[in-house]
Structure 1
């Protein structure tokens, strides 16, 4: 049976991440408070932002920008969107 967490994004008990997605205390906090679904959705948005804005992940400013966008996404605040992105129809 999988573990559950109270997801800070969806405000309900959901499937937990199997391991911390980042090193250190930040990764531990995310694993304890963010669901697998929310993290997977963040990963998809992060990929679109990196590609659309041509972010260089060696640049500390680009990494700081993504960390800010991640916090905004997980707190249900407005985030930047990749221009021209149209989600697939389900």
Structure 2
């Protein structure tokens, strides 16, 4: 049976992650408060940011930037989009 949590991003009860995505307190916070749906959307958005902005994951500044964007994304705050990004039309 799926574990349900109250998702910080979507403000509703949704299926939670199977395991914490990071070790320590940050991973536990995400595990307890972020839905599987929101996490999967963040992973796709993070990949888009890395590719479109040509981010170097070996650079500490890049990792700090992505962590800041992750916190904004998962909290429902304004977050960076890839340059020229146009969201798909809603059906």
1: CA distance, partners of 2:58 / 2:26:
19
The SS at the match of 2:19 is coil
Deviation at 1:14, TM superposition (A): 0.3
Q: How many residues align?
A: 90
Q: Runs of 4+ in structure 1 displaced over 6 angstroms? A: none
Partner residue in 1 for 2:17: 17
Where in structure 1 are there 5+ consecutive unaligned residues? Answer: none
Where in structure 2 are there 5+ consecutive unaligned residues? Answer: none
- Which deviations, in whole Å up to 9, do the C-alpha atoms of 1:20-49 show, x marking residues without a partner? 111221111100000000000101110011
The correspondence of residues 1-80 of structure 1 with structure 2, limited to 5 A, is 1-80=1-80
2: CA distance, partners of 1:32 / 1:58:
29
TM-score (structure 1 length as normaliser): 0.91
User: Considering only aligned residues, what root-mean-square deviation do their CA atoms show, in Å?
Assistant: 1.3
TM-score (structure 2 length as normaliser): 0.90
The SS at the match of 2:27 is helix
